[in-house]
Amino acid sequence: MVTQLQPDVRAYLHGGEVIKRYIRVEEVAQEYGFSVEETEYIAKAASSLYKLTRIHLVKKERFDEFMKHIYKVPGTNKQIIKKFARIGEASIIYSIGRQRFIELARAAGATYKINEGTGGTVQTMTTDGNGYAKSAALVAGTYYVKEITAPKGYVLSGKVHTLTVKAGQTTGISATDKEQLGAITIYKEGEVLSSWNGSNFTYEKKKLSGATFKVTAGADIYKADGTKVYSAGDVVAESLTTGNDGQVVLSDLHLGTYVVTEIKSIDGYTINTTPQTVMIEYKDQTVTVQYESTTVENTRQKADVSVVKKDSDTENPLDGGKYTLYAGNDIKNYAGQVIVTKGTALETVTTGEDGSASYSVDLPISNGYYIQETQAPYAYIRNSTDSGST
């Protein structure tokens, strides 16, 4: 609620000093280290916000008194009355609903519920920045305490703690949570030789073994407790080589941003030096390890074969010559199966006016090939000598 400013009480005398009763929102924000938006939010809750035509003022006495009971939730722009509050109370203070408050509380710490022996929930508590929470007074009896919301970066504990409360005594529990870790799976993919369809070779994408990668920190990396483990650019792991399944896994990583870079490719493929950024984020409090992945593709190296026909005396280019390309050995696919036998004709081309011709067949490298003149240009004798190519 925003009230109307009373013009006759804007200041008062205290010890010979004139104390402003109403000051600008910006001044209050600077004093408390809040943003203007946060300050107006709190002032409105304290019924100390006064909006004039051009400026917004705060009744300082009322604001200061209200701040004595304010606790700011770490990592959020929210403040709650009381250092420890039941979720139901805090949601009323926030006017944001019970579930939304539970989400915000994760940034501050763990939320626990206290059940009676009969199973009914008595209270809920949220730990502060020191990992401490205290319940309101309880009637003597047996209670069960269970974590219902883990602190951000940690895994929810399923342990149920039994407490026996005696009259006039204080009792408690000590609980620990495991830090949520991450893992990155690096996949290596590229085209492999599949088959021969009678006029060309066909390829399909498969996982590849033998590629080597390194992983660096893409930003500063911290443990869940705030301890810094890597600075941006630090090498986290190197010499990570894909296995027969075309993948390699890097585990036991703290949540954060990582960069995957290929440092050694596979024979027959061009290295892919483009860095791949992988973010491991806190997503689910019930998961022990957050798995992320990235796929690095490599371009297959290709063969470019052409023929040039010239007059043996004048060196002038000759058109009309026909030349056939043959397999120089048995050609096998990625599975080791022979798909083309030695001596198989793969493609025939005819030279143009410039005396040249290029083959369009997509040849797999690391194989042998040879070329034969199958028809000489007009008025010339066919050259029966084979031209080798590998």
pLDDT digits (tens, 9 = 90+) for 70-127: 555 445 555 544 434 445 545 444 444 555 445 444 444 666 666 666 567 778 888 8
pLDDT digits (tens, 9 = 90+) for 90-104: 544 444 455 544 544
In the chain the domains, ranked by start, together with CATH numbers, are 1-68 (no CATH), 73-178 (2.60.40.10), 181-300 (2.60.40.10), 306-389 (2.60.40.10)
Complete DSSP assignment for 186-243: EEEEEEEEEEE-SSSEEEEEEE-S--EEEEEESS-EE-TTS-EEE-TT-EEEEEEE--
Which has the closest alpha carbon to 322: 385, 389, 371, 387?
Answer: 371
Q: Which of 16-20, 54-58, 300-304, 357-361 has the lowest mean pLDDT?
A: 16-20
Rounded distance, CA 72 to CA 37, Å? 14
pTM comes to: 0.64
